[in-house]
Structure 1
Amino acid sequence: MTSREFGAAVRRLREATPPGSVELPSAGRRVRGLRREELGDLAGLSADYVRRLEQGRSHPSAGVVDAIARAVRAPRAEYERLAALAGYAAADGLVPSELGPGATRMLERFPDTPMFVADAAMNLLAVNRAFLALEHWERTGEEWEWNVVWRTFCSPFAAFQQSPADATDHQSVLVARLKDARLRYPRDTALVALVDVLRSSSRLFDALWRDPRPVTAYESSATFLRSDGEPVTLVGNLLAIPGDDLGALVLTAAPGTADAVRLAEVVDTATGPTVVRVGRSGPG
């Protein structure tokens, strides 16, 4: 990446930062966001150095990247991007696992649509009540039981069935996402361990890790078999949640179909809280 690209990213962050969010007065301003002098003061830099950075005339140290990100209170994904543009790994390299307000609102406002939120390594962080009503995510007691990739390749769900074509798309997306996470978070020891377990436990995963398939679609269809014996076939779409480096999987049925009617029946049986936090220790 060039210094010019890094500088443009810094300028966008500066102009997108509301003064009030960093405890500066907002009244009487004629420019968007922060002034260069204000960013410099917050980051411990001179206004002239900030100007040279934004113009691509100076290359920052890793410490400067960290200082700028802290100054504007950049979300984790923005910090990762700044570090990458400057040619550095992020300071701690850990996969973000905070369920932000945006992800929480998404789960709350679509209570009739089965949905989960996962981190960049595909560890489930939270699900909604409608997702649990599908009754397919049986517990195993294993360390990685809430990781979608591990469940797909090492401990498949008995109540989750896909055609060969849909399974291929599903597997391709999961391997691509995990590879991307591994590159962006090289110091995350849990992520390294997960990849090692997958490669040693699943020949298919190891083959795809070494020679990935192209990702043709970020959606696939699956049939869920509930305890009442009536199946429902849904399409899962993977959506990005910008800023928090999270993803949401949304399961829907085509309007007016028998599966849409069946999904409504399933959702009507759902009980408990709208949003359920999950993780290695299980729901809670």
Structure 2
Amino acid sequence: MTDTEFGPAVRRWRDRVTPEAAGLPAGGHRRAAGLRREELALLAGISVDYITRLEQGRSTGPSAQVVEALARALRLDATEREHLFTLAGLAPPARGVVSAHITPGVQRLLDRLSDTPVAVHDAAWNLITGNPLWAALFGDPAALHGHERNIVWRHFAGFNSRVIQTPEQERVFGAATAADLRAATARYPADSRVTDLIKELLARSETFARIWEAGAITPHDSTSKLVQHPQVGDIHLDCDVLTVPGSDLRIVAYTAEPGSEAADRLALLSVVGQQSFTG
């Protein structure tokens, strides 16, 4: 059914979304109220050429990652998202597994927090998306693949991070994220991706194995983070984690005390960092 219907469906939904609804400036004369292909490409992290070929039926068989990105950028609800997967010839993400679907309400929240670095992770701490200021602060998330997009993996596998932690902060963070994975296995027992991640962490990290064997349930508390940015220097930020009921999405927001040096450095990133300081 589907390859011939996928492109027209994307086009119809693109026409439905206004730039303002997507957090973009309307700017200049527009022939239609909806998103331009260039704007959809920006929101989805997909090339304009590829979107053009999909809409015109010259490319078929998009990957699940592409369909997920388009569904998010087009502000599709859960039923529409499932339909887009079906049109792509893919099985919709199974119910009872960790979801990467960002609801339109959460997306609108991200759009309105343009002056705050914000990222969204799934219940297993895989990065789904970060807003432009988050990317300016931590680097372009498009460069991360596979387990590199998982915070727990990066922490226990020793990946370089711009966040500098004391040994006590590392201990608390590791215990809290390991507890989150334990909760994810209980809530989503059918999701083999979570169990596979845990098996690989147990084999790779003695520290993770020790925490996992202890079985402690450690909640997340609001905390402060020191971010060492290669261009603007050290930034001391408050970090809060909000969980979306029903989907277990984790919204991570970084804020600075008004009038502080950290606020000034965030403002600098907001003005020029999104063009010059990513990566």
TM bin, normalised by shorter chain, reads 0.5 to 0.7
8 Å contact 1:170–1:220 — kept in the other structure? no
Q: 1:250 aligns with which of 250, 253, 256?
A: 253
Residue 159, structure 1, aligned to residue 162, structure 2: yes
Q: 1:186 aligns with which of 186, 189, 204?
A: 189
Normalised TM-score (structure 1): 0.59
8 Å contact 1:136–1:225 — kept in the other structure? no
Give, as a single letter, the amino acid of the residue that structure 2 aligns with 1:122: W
Match runs of 1:74-89 below 5 Å: none
The corresponding residue for 2:99 is: 96
Residue 132, structure 1, aligned to residue 135, structure 2: yes
Offset at 1:180?
A: 0.3
Give the secondary-structure state (helix, strand or coil) at the position aligned to 2:189.
coil
Matches of 1:158 and 1:138 in 2, distance apart? 13
Give the secondary-structure state (helix, strand or coil) at the position aligned to 2:274.
coil
Give, as a single letter, the amino acid of the residue that structure 1 aligns with 2:106: A
Offset at 1:233?
A: 1.6
How many residue pairs align between the two structures?
A: 185
8 Å contact 2:243–2:250 — kept in the other structure? yes
Offset at 1:250?
A: 0.6
8 Å contact 2:165–2:225 — kept in the other structure? yes
Give the secondary-structure state (helix, strand or coil) at the position aligned to 1:255.
coil
In structure 2, relative to structure 1, the CA distance for the partners of 1:256 and 1:165 (3 Å cut) is farther
Question: Which is further off, 237-246 or 165-174?
Answer: 165-174
In structure 2, relative to structure 1, the CA distance for the partners of 1:266 and 1:101 (3 Å cut) is same
In structure 2, relative to structure 1, the CA distance for the partners of 1:270 and 1:105 (3 Å cut) is farther
Residue 203, structure 1, aligned to residue 213, structure 2: no
Matches of 1:198 and 1:256 in 2, distance apart? 41
Offset at 1:253?
A: 1.4
Deviations 1:98-153 (CA, angstroms, capped at 9, x unpaired): 11112211211100100101111111111101100113567776521111111111
Normalised TM-score (structure 2): 0.60
Higher-RCO chain (CA-CA 8 Å, sequence separation at least 6) = 1
Matches of 2:232 and 2:265 in 1, distance apart? 12
Larger Rg: 1
8 Å contact 1:133–1:269 — kept in the other structure? no
Give, as a single letter, the amino acid of the residue that structure 2 aligns with 1:147: N
Q: 2:118 aligns with which of 111, 115, 122?
A: 115
Give, as a single letter, the amino acid of the residue that structure 1 aligns with 2:157: C
Match runs of 1:140-159 below 5 Å: 143-159=146-162
In structure 2, relative to structure 1, the CA distance for the partners of 1:202 and 1:252 (3 Å cut) is same
Offset at 1:97?
A: 1.5
Unaligned runs of 5+ in 2: 1-77, 79-93
Matches of 2:267 and 2:153 in 1, distance apart? 30
The corresponding residue for 1:68 is: none
Offset at 1:216?
A: 5.6
Unaligned runs of 5+ in 1: 1-74, 76-90, 273-282
The percentage of counterpart residues that share the same residue type is 30
Matches of 1:246 and 1:165 in 2, distance apart? 26
- Cα RMSD after superposing both structures: 2.6
8 Å contact 2:232–2:265 — kept in the other structure? no
The corresponding residue for 1:169 is: 172
